[in-house]
Amino acid sequence: MNTKIWTYFTVGIFLFLGIVFLNISFGSVKIPFSETLTALTGGDLSHESWEYIILEYRLPKALTAILAGSGLALSGLLMQTLFRNPLAGPYVLGLSSGASLGVAILLMGGIWFGAFLGDDLFSKWALVLAASLGSLLVLFAVLAASLRLRDTMAILIIGLMFASLTGAVVSVLSYFSPAANLQRYIFWSFGSLGNLSWIEVGILGLFWILGIGIAIFCIKNLNALLLGERYAKSLGVSIKANRIWVIVATSLLAGSITAFAGPIAFVGLAVPHLVRQVIPSNNHLILVPSVLLAGAILMLLCDTISQMPGNAYIIPINAITSIFGAPIVIWLLMRKKKLIF
Amino acid sequence: MKKIIFLFLTLGFFSCQDHQKELAAVLAHGDTLNVEYANGFEIVEYEGFKLVTVKDPWPQAEKSFTYLLAEKDAEIPEAVEYDEKIQIPVEKIVVTSTTHIPSLETLGVEKTLKGFPSLGYISSSKTRDLIDAGKIQELGTNQNINTELLLEIQPDVVVGFSVNGNNKAYDLVRKNGIPVVFNSDWTEQNPLGKAEWIKFFGALYNKLPEATAAFEKVEKAYLEAKKLAKSTAEKPRVLAGAMYRDQWFLPYGNSWQGHFIEDAGGEYVYGKTTGNGSIALSFEKVFQDGKDADIWIAPGNFTSYSQLLKSSEHYRKFKAFQNKQIYNYAGVVGRTGGVLYYEFAPNRPDLVLKDLIKIFHPELLPNYSLAFFKSLD
């Protein structure tokens, strides 16, 4: 790696640390910087409620943003490389559609098994479980298909088909569902980072580490894949095994993030492009850490904007990621005049 | 040529003036019904007919609607302008909101109800009996009313409501000659204003005196309860709403719910806010402002403390949670699961107010038992 790359990383890490602090200090409730620092270093605060807000709300939210941003960005990169398609993102396999289906059946189909679920219908864990089951269902279907198929592109189409299929079931469910349940589903689909407790952040972190670990293990094969499947084969890469590992890593990352934070759009698709525009490299040894860092920074930034300092209102995170992310990608593409892929 | 155009213009002008004069002459004989609290409608009575104007059929509506309610064989002056003509008293009606049902029962005309979307939500007992006897047709859901079934009923009028003026099903019904009138009781912010809409139904059934009497009874009870609440100086701080994911939804201070809290002698945490719809605030903001509130009402659809906790551990930190001072209406339902509050509260603000007074100041109403609210399990 040359010195330029190292400079990028150093700047990136400082930017990351800065924005973590910014994210934790800013929110609807105004808390002075000094108090934020005291809370983070374990001191006593002048207001008891401030301590709770920082340690039990903002800190888990910032961690969720880091995990979700980096995880989704990496999933996007993996999918773009696997399919050699710049339009691919973490959800091309139909993971978010699967999760949506699970949640929709829980929230809106709940009329049929509401009595059986009782209080659990309100539980966050039920949502996480339903989303995970939905994602898993789609994942197994895609994996089964990928074992039989030779052409990687066909998996892309199958993923899209699953998305349409589940989308149709969700719309039938929403059509017959009472307003209150529909509302809960819509709010889930907006995505949110702020309602995870420490335990949930811990579980999400576990999945994150697993997913990232598998992805790192695949880096060498991914580089070979960029040159084409045949070339990769000649280098001794087992295309099928590699394909399955990449799909598993993406599913672990994108599936767990969707389960806990809802379907967060855009980041996964855009961040790899953003990174490639700034760091012109095809080496996954460089791309993977850059994408992780950039994803986390972008997500923290979006979350900070969505919780505008001093503003009591929150804008859904999904709206922010697209409203602020899309123009950046467009601007970068216009400036370079070509897509680096 | 120019002369001819001029001639036509003047003729047109004069005939227009004649028309205006005639209309003014007719309308001068009208008797405007006294509507004290509601802002959304106006009723003027004439010999043999009434003109009902719905001023804000939906929020930010650009036009109002005038409905001509004509008795059989009544002579309607040609100059009268209207959007729909309805023959009264109405004999077959279709309404679209459960809030319309108690008005029908109070006026004793529930038997004229022939169709309703989503029958399961109705809890009013007399109407429920009619449904069980198969006298009322299920019409699907309100957003997508089953037009064929509705046309088969051929009601004299459909009382609809619209959130934004777009409802294709209503257009189709109207094209088939069935008048659709908009009821915008739900946009009223004054508790008594919402209840006053019973007069709107009174006009449809030619039962204005009965409607007025029923309303005055509610009004009297409401004002008495309000006075009772004023007698106490101590005001508990009140929090409302709950979180969906990480956003907390609460009513504005100037909303219908906000008025109730104030009239019941409570101090609503966001009592000073004004706006339409509901406020969405971040958790940290509500935590800062509302963690020390004494009482917490209407937390979404939650009916028990364990449900609240399962949804978010943060709720544990609120004083009202720790002291078990959370009350909701979601758990008080009718025979088929419809929430009573949604159906009856607009018509019975006196009972809502007494419920809240009982919750805020139990000593003021020692023998009263709650009608809509219930302490969380």
Q: H helices of B28-67, where?
A: none
pLDDT reported for residue B15 = 55
Helical residues (DSSP H) of B180-322, grouped into ranges: 191-195, 198-204, 208-230, 256-263, 283-290, 305-311, 319-322
Report chain A residues whose CB lies below 8 A from the CB of B246.
61, 192-195, 314
Cross-strand bridge partners of residue B185: none
* Beta carbons of B245 and A58 less than 8 Å apart: no
Please report the number of interchain residue pairs, chain A to chain B, with beta-carbon separation below 8 angstroms.
Answer: 84
Task: Give yes or no for a contact between B113 and B94, defined as CB atoms under 8 angstroms apart.
Answer: yes
Contact B283 A313 (CB under 8 A): no
Rounded Cα distance between B114 and B154, Å, is: 9
Instruction: Calculate the average pLDDT of chain A.
Output: 83
Interface membership of B186 toward A (CB under 8 Å): no
For residue B349, cis peptide bond before it (omega within 30 degrees of 0): no
Percent over 70 (pLDDT), chain B? 92
When pLDDT is cut at 50, 70 and 90, the band that residue A267 belongs to is: confident
Task: State whether residue B246 sits within 8 Å of chain A by CB.
Answer: yes
| Helices marked H in chain A | 3-25, 33-40, 48-52, 59-82, 95-108, 110-117, 124-148, 152-176, 179-190, 198-225, 229-234, 239-261, 267-278, 284-306, 317-336
SS3 content of chain B, % helix, strand, coil (to 5): 40, 20, 40
pLDDT at A116: 54
Cα torsion through A30, A35, A36, A37, rounded to 10? 160
Mark yes or no for CB contact B310/A119 under 8 Å.
yes
Q: For residue A130, which phi and psi values (nearest 5 degrees)? A: -65, -45
Chain B, nearest residue to A262 by Cα: B245
Q: Is-contact A145 A112, C-beta < 8 A?
A: no
- Asked whether the beta carbons of residue A194 and residue B283 sit closer than 8 angstroms, the reply is yes
- Phi, psi angles (nearest 5°) of residue A155: -65, -40
ipTM surpasses cut 0.85? no
Q: How far apart are CA A267 and CA A326, in angstroms?
A: 10
Residue B322 burial class via C-beta count within 10 angstroms: exposed 0-12, middle 13-18, buried 19 and up? exposed
Give residue B12's pLDDT.
53
For strands B267-268 and B247-251, give the pairing.
unpaired
**What would the pLDDT profile of B220-251 be if each residue is shown by its tens digit?**
999 999 999 998 888 999 999 998 877 899 99
* Chain B nearest C-alpha distance from A181 (Å): 10
- Judge whether B257 and B240 are in contact, CB under 8 Å: yes
pLDDT band at B85 (very low <50, low <70, confident <90, very high): very high
Closest Cα to residue B236, out of B298, B297, B293?
B293
B307 touches chain A (CB under 8 A): yes
Distance CA B197, CA B90 (A): 17
| Neighboring chain A residues of B311 at a CB cutoff of 8 Å | 122-124
Looking at residue A37, its amino acid is L
Q: In the structure encoding, which two tokens stand for residue A221, read together? A: 């094969």
* C-beta separation of A66 from A77 below 8 A: no
Whether residues A312 and B282 touch (CB distance < 8 A) is answered with: yes
Which of the given ranges, A125-129, A182-186, B6-10, B307-311, has the highest pLDDT on average? Answer: B307-311
Per the DSSP assignment, residues forming a β-bridge with B145 are B140
DSSP readout, B12-28? HHHHHHHHHHHHHHHHT
For chain A, say whether B181 makes contact (Cβ under 8 Å).
no
- Separation CA A296–CA A66 (nearest Å): 4
Taking CA–CA distances from A128, the nearest residue in chain B reads B311
User: How close, in Å, is residue A68 to chain B by CA atoms?
Assistant: 16
pLDDT at A276: 86
**Pair of tokens at residue A163:** 């998305």
What's the whole-number mean pLDDT along residues A89-118?
75
- Segment B306-324 mean pLDDT: 90
Q: Which residues of A touch B144 (CB under 8 A)?
A: 175
Q: Which residues pair with B237 in a beta bridge?
A: B267
Burial (Cβ within 10 Å: 0-12, 13-18, ≥19) of residue A282: middle
Residues of chain B positioned with their CB less than 8 A from the CB of A183:
244
**Given pLDDT bands bounded at 50, 70 and 90, which one contains residue A119?**
low
